[in-house]
Amino acid sequence: QEAVRYLETKNVEALFLVGGSELNLAFAKEGLVNELTLIVQPSVIGQGAALFSPADFSLKLSLKDTDRLESDRIRLRYSVVK
């Protein structure tokens, strides 16, 4: 929240969070995530990087928009229901 307060003093109205699973979890648990964008790749893998670190929390999402991208990828945009 300290980082968000600092950015507000600089008149920043939107922040695009690109971080690891721990950073994503910290912002989500504090209620600081308003929107979530996921890109779906047309492949299946057995392991990989987690979007959020393991924790007891949940986000209720509402589908906002979808886009078909090149290489058969799909972008899903969700609003976080608060």
Rounded to an integer, what distance in angstroms lies between the CA atom of residue 64 and that of residue 76? 8
Residues near 60 by beta carbon (within 8 Å), at least 6 away in sequence? 80, 81
Q: Are 16 and 36 in contact (CB under 8 A)?
A: no
Per-residue pLDDT of 6-29, as tens digits, reads 888 998 888 888 878 888 888 888
What pTM does this model have? 0.78
Residues near 14 by beta carbon (within 8 Å), at least 6 away in sequence? none
Per-residue pLDDT of 44-57, as tens digits, reads 888 877 888 888 88
